[in-house]
């Protein structure tokens, strides 16, 4: 009787140890699988910067601005005009009129013009008469009022140059939004992957414990109610695992929206895992580690550059509107000559014209100038606000990151303490001095603490990504 009892107690002890060892082995095996194929965060961002269509679309901003500048410069292209009219009826040449010119616009509104006119026939305006060989002309037109120091063509070119600068800032802002949304998808994938791994480990642990408990019940060393307790834990862990798998599958599909190679979208393979040591590499990848930070100097920020460039463009528009308050006064002089006589200069042969006009009240011009000034004032207010907002956003994100670091230290200590409590309870269980209820209670506390740990880590990742987005430097 004594030998049988000792033998049974010994077997019971080994079964209890076997339960714990199997669970420990299962947990280690799951942990090894985590390190197989890994997609690092920096590599992931590299793919997005190089291949994602929305990043390429953002890069088109500069190309569009350069095309607009080219179109604006086209206002200063030399121009050839040819106008030829001829009428002949019943053998009579009524008229043959040729008017041709070659115009060269210059920067300050001055226009140089060379022309050739030829008129023949029986019926035409006498003032259009030319010598038999035709009539050549060479002249200049100068605006002495509106358009001398600034005109629409000059304004278009100046704005086109500024638009190139503006487009670079807009490109950065668009690209940073894509990188931030992609980062959110990566961090969500990592969070749900870690949760799935956690539930997978503890589901295996619970299953192994359930089998061991049934053996203990068969030996009569554990009450039958323990099998129900262990079975409830198994089903609860299984339900949690399936839910985590569903979240992970959806997170992977969301991540695939941002993964492209060349022009082909890519789906993650089942074996690919997120970066395990992301906590150590995150700040270096996002360059948030050395941003401790010059919040007083935001002149290089794309939003500030964008608004300052818009101010410069509005100032050009204001000058153009102010110039319209001047009268229109255009003076033109053209030297005219027969082609055979062009080698000699006779100042008595010329065409001269003066054009003058001015509205009496200038209400339209004065109203447009006021609107231009109001737009400048409005943009200056926005610029001042953006400087303050960016400064405070940066400080807020830095404060949040520091707080999350402290929270991470606290939750790590909690996980360590809960692990110690669970290990102690398992040792007591191996000696028959504890119960399944206490082990499950300790384990639930540990699982909840680890879930909080994963959640805080995810908040830390997102906080760094928000700081990265606030600085808006995707290059």
Q: Which residue has the tokens 């350069």?
A: 66
pLDDT given at position 290 = 61
Q: Is residue 325 part of a domain?
A: no
Reported confidence tier of residue 37, pLDDT bands at 50, 70, 90? confident
Distance of CA 287 to CAs 21, 300, 458, 467, Å?
43, 16, 18, 10
- Same domain? For 145 and 201 the reply is no
Cα(54)–Cα(222) distance, integer angstroms: 62
pLDDT at 263 over 90: no
447 neighbors 415 (Cβ within 8 angstroms): no
Average pLDDT over residues 398-405: 93
- Same domain? For 268 and 407 the reply is yes
- Same domain? For 222 and 357 the reply is no
pLDDT given at position 25 = 42
Least confident of 19-23, 206-210, 301-305: 19-23
Which H or E run contains 411?
A: helix 363-430
Q: At what angle do helices 152-219 and 436-471 cross, to 10 degrees?
A: 170
Average pLDDT over residues 174-194: 95
- Same domain? For 161 and 85 the reply is no
- Same domain? For 267 and 405 the reply is yes
- Same domain? For 200 and 61 the reply is yes
pLDDT at 136 over 70: yes
pLDDT, tens digit (0-9, with 9 covering 90-100), for 76-99: 899 999 999 998 988 888 889 999
Q: Is residue 324 part of a domain?
A: no
Range of the domain at 246: 2-71+154-315+372-471
Q: Measured at the alpha carbon of residue 274, what is the angle toward residues 271 and 280, in degrees to the nearest 5?
A: 145
Q: Is residue 321 part of a domain?
A: no
pLDDT at 134 over 80: yes
How many domains are there within the chain? 2
pLDDT given at position 141 = 93
Q: Is residue 60 part of a domain?
A: yes
Proportion of the chain above pLDDT 90, given as a percent: 51
- Same domain? For 127 and 21 the reply is no
pLDDT higher at 269 or 80: 80
pLDDT, tens digit (0-9, with 9 covering 90-100), for 336-348: 888 865 566 677 8
- Same domain? For 290 and 389 the reply is yes
Instruction: Pick the most confident of 332-336, 359-363, 367-371.
Output: 367-371
pLDDT at 323 over 90: yes
pLDDT given at position 1 = 43
pLDDT at 7 over 70: no
pLDDT at 12 over 70: no
Average pLDDT over residues 300-313: 93
Sign of torsion, CA 451 453 459 465?
Answer: negative
Reported confidence tier of residue 426, pLDDT bands at 50, 70, 90? confident
pLDDT higher at 212 or 272: 272
pLDDT, tens digit (0-9, with 9 covering 90-100), for 289-300: 765 455 557 888
Q: Is residue 323 part of a domain?
A: no
Reading the block at residue 29, the tokens are 């095996």
Average pLDDT over residues 395-421: 93
Cα(382)–Cα(107) distance, integer angstroms: 33
Q: Is residue 293 part of a domain?
A: yes
pLDDT higher at 275 or 222: 275
- For residue 237, the domain's CATH number is 1.20.1600.10
Taking residue 108's Cβ as centre, other Cβ atoms within 10 Å add up to 13
pLDDT at 371 over 90: yes
Any residues with CB less than 8 A from the CB of 406 and at least 6 apart, and which? none
Q: What are phi and psi of 135, to 5 degrees?
A: -135, 125
Q: Is residue 367 part of a domain?
A: no
Using the CB atoms, write b or e for 277-311: b if 16+ within 10 Å: ebeeebbebbebeebeeeeeebeebbbbbbbbbbb
pLDDT given at position 221 = 64
Q: Is residue 191 part of a domain?
A: yes
Average pLDDT over residues 316-325: 93
Mean residue pLDDT of the chain comes to 85
pLDDT higher at 344 or 462: 462
- Same domain? For 30 and 92 the reply is no
- Same domain? For 229 and 267 the reply is yes
Cα(177)–Cα(52) distance, integer angstroms: 12
pLDDT higher at 347 or 242: 242
Q: Is the pTM of this model over 0.85?
A: no
Reported confidence tier of residue 428, pLDDT bands at 50, 70, 90? confident
pLDDT given at position 383 = 94
Average pLDDT over residues 151-158: 92
- Same domain? For 206 and 64 the reply is yes
- Same domain? For 404 and 310 the reply is yes
Reported confidence tier of residue 220, pLDDT bands at 50, 70, 90? low
Reported confidence tier of residue 10, pLDDT bands at 50, 70, 90? very low
């Amino acid at each position: 009787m004594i030998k049988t009892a000792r033998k049974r107690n010994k077997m019971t002890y080994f079964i209890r140890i076997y339960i714990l060892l199997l669970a420990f082995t299962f947990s280690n095996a799951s942990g090894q699988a985590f390190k197989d194929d890994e997609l690092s965060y920096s590599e992931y961002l590299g793919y997005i910067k190089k291949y994602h269509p929305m990043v390429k679309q953002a890069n088109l901003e500069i190309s569009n601005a350069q095309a607009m500048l080219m179109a604006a410069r086209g206002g200063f292209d030399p121009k050839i005009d040819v106008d030829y009219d001829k009428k002949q009826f019943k053998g009579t040449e009524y008229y043959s009129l040729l008017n041709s010119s070659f115009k060269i616009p210059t920067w300050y509104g001055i226009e140089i013009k060379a022309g050739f006119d030829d008129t023949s026939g029986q019926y035409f305006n006498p003032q259009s008469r030319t010598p038999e060989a035709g009539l050549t002309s060479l002249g200049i037109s100068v605006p002495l009022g509106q358009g001398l120091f600034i005109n629409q063509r000059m304004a278009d070119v100046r704005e086109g140059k500024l638009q190139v600068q503006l487009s670079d800032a807009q490109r950065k802002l668009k690209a940073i939004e894509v990188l931030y949304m992609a980062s959110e998808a990566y961090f969500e994938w990592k969070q749900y992957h870690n949760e799935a791994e956690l539930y997978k480990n503890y589901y295996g642990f619970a299953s192994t414990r359930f089998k061991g408990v049934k053996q203990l019940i068969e030996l009569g060393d554990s009450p039958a109610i323990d099998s129900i307790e262990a079975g409830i834990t198994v089903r609860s862990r299984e339900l949690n695992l399936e839910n985590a798998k569903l979240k992970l599958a959806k997170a992977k599909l969301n991540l695939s929206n941002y993964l492209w190679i060349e022009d082909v979208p890519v789906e993650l393979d089942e074996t690919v895992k997120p970066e395990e040591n992301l906590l150590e590499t995150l700040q270096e990848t996002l360059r948030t580690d050395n941003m401790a930070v010059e919040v007083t100097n935001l002149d290089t920020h794309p939003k500030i550059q964008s608004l300052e460039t818009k101010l410069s463009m509005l100032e050009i528009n204001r000058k153009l509107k102010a110039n319209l308050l001047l009268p229109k006064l255009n003076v033109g002089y053209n030297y005219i000559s027969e082609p055979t006589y062009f080698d000699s200069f006779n100042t008595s042969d010329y065409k001269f014209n003066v054009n003058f006009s001015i509205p009496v009240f200038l209400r339209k011009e004065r109203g447009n100038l006021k609107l231009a000034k109001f737009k400048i004032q409005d943009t200056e207010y926005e610029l001042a606000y953006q400087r303050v907002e960016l400064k405070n956003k940066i400080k807020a994100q830095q404060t949040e990151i520091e707080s999350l670091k402290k929270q991470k230290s606290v939750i790590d200590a909690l996980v360590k303490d809960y692990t110690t409590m669970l290990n102690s309870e398992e040792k007591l269980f191996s000696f028959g001095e504890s119960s399944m209820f206490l082990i499950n209670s300790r384990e639930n506390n540990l699982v909840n603490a680890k879930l909080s740990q994963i959640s805080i880590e995810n908040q830390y990742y997102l906080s760094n990504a928000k700081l990265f987005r606030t600085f808006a430097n995707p290059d």
